């Protein structure tokens, strides 16, 4: 978990400049609790090169508490079958010099596929997320359907949007 927190700090605080709570070089927030499920990937040297956090919407989650306006005025989900994906990053700092290349990083798609599998194993039928608009392209290119819940907004110099990703059409493939 410390390596995941250090990686998150490097991506979100050091490189993206987000103002997030950190303890030293480890980023963690109030949503990093016992209900969170973490997915990470490593390069061939054992260095973390991708992370994601999954939370059931039956507990407080980022979209609900920090970005509710992005949900387009609709009632926010609260269901064991709807999970939030947050802190997704897939930057290999050893091979990818630019965060702009995150969506095209060679392991980003496989990390996302693992996230979806793990979410489904925990009962998720839908993922929701607040993500940079570019995440829609990564999803589309890899055969996932993402539905915008509202209109994009500027957050920290980046255009972000709330997305809903139905998993039901992919469930049979993994069972």
Domain, as residue range, for 46:
2-174
- Tell me how far CA of residue 36 lies from CA of 30, 56, 124, 147, 175, in angstroms: 11, 8, 13, 24, 23
CATH number at residue 73: 3.40.630.30
User: What is the tally of structural domains in the chain?
Assistant: 1
Can you give the C-alpha Rg of the chain in angstroms?
A: 15
pTM for the whole structure: 0.87
Hey, CA dihedral for 37, 169, 66, 87, is it positive or negative?
positive
Q: In the structure encoding, which two tokens stand for residue 151, read together?
A: 């209109």
Q: Dump pLDDT digits (tens) for 22-71.
A: 788 888 899 999 999 999 999 888 999 999 999 999 999 999 998 999 99
What token pair was written down for 22?
């950190």
Angle at 99 between CA 64 and CA 142, to 5 degrees: 70
């Amino acid at each position: 978990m410390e390596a995941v927190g250090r990686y998150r700090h490097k991506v979100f605080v050091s490189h993206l400049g987000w103002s997030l709570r950190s303890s030293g070089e480890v980023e963690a927030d109030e949503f990093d609790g016992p209900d969170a499920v973490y997915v990470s990937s490593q390069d061939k040297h054992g260095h973390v090169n991708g992370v994601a956090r999954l939370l059931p919407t039956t507990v407080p989650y980022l979209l609900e508490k920090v970005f509710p306006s992005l949900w387009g005025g609709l009632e926010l989900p609260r269901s064991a079958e709807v999970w939030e994906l947050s802190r997704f990053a897939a930057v290999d700092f050893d091979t990818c010099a630019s965060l702009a290349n995150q969506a095209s990083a060679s392991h980003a798609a496989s990390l996302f596929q693992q996230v979806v599998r793990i979410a489904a194993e925990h009962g998720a039928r839908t993922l929701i997320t607040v993500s940079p608009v570019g995440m829609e392209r990564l999803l589309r290119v890899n055969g996932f359907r993402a539905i915008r819940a509202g209109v994009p907004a500027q957050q920290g110099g980046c255009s972000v949007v709330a997305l809903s990703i139905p998993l039901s059409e992919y469930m049979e493939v993994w069972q």
